Amino acid sequence: MFFSQAGAQPRTWEASPSEHKKWVEVFKACDEDNKGYLSREDFKVAVVMLFGYKPSKIEADAVMSSVNPNTSGISLEEFLSIVRKKKEAQLYWNEMRHIFTAFDRHYRGYLTLEDFQKAFKQVAPRLPERIVLEVFREVDQDSDGHVSFKDFEYAMNYGQT
């Protein structure tokens, strides 16, 4: 109920000129033969350079299947779009983690009903106690009395149902 009304969605984000320049430089560095596109392996190297991890086979397959089928790889324009979306998702995840941590005042790695009550008292002091309880029960997926970050993340991402 609550999260379906909240409509938690990542905000669109624009890269700074220096960040955009860095992405173009990484594209050019990974396009060693100046083909004008990145192969699957080139893309993996670019992700390592920009995000510090090697994409899984599933992620690489998803990216490669989403590019223009009339080309041999990922164009600069497609690459910039993919990187922007990855950066947005990363920032959104970081924002969710920050919110969760602000609620978790005792640094336990989970939230209790009391944590929810204190947080909602600060941000929505007139919200009825029964609504706070309803929100907590909605987010506490396994009904163990604790909201893990995974529960919280799920509610923020999929709570629109």
pLDDT for 111-159, tens place per residue? 999 998 998 898 899 999 999 999 999 999 899 999 999 999 888 888 6
Q: Which two tokens stand for residue 87?
A: 């950066």
What confidence score (pLDDT) does residue 11 get? 56
Residue 12: pLDDT band by 50, 70, 90 thresholds?
low
What confidence score (pLDDT) does residue 13 get? 64
Those residues whose C-beta lies under 8 Å from the C-beta of residue 53, and which sit 6 or more positions away, are 47
pTM here?
Answer: 0.68
| CA-CA-CA-CA dihedral for 127, 128, 130, 136, to nearest 10 | 20
Q: What's the CA gap between 124 and 42, in Å, rounded? A: 49
Q: What's the CA gap between 42 and 119, in Å, rounded? A: 46
What is the Cα 114 distance to its own chain's centre?
A: 27
Q: What's the CA gap between 160 and 111, in Å, rounded? A: 21
What confidence score (pLDDT) does residue 2 get? 44
Asked whether 103 and 119 are in contact (CB, 8 A), the reply is yes
Q: Torsion-angle region of residue 82: left (phi > 0), alpha (psi -120 to 50) or beta?
A: alpha
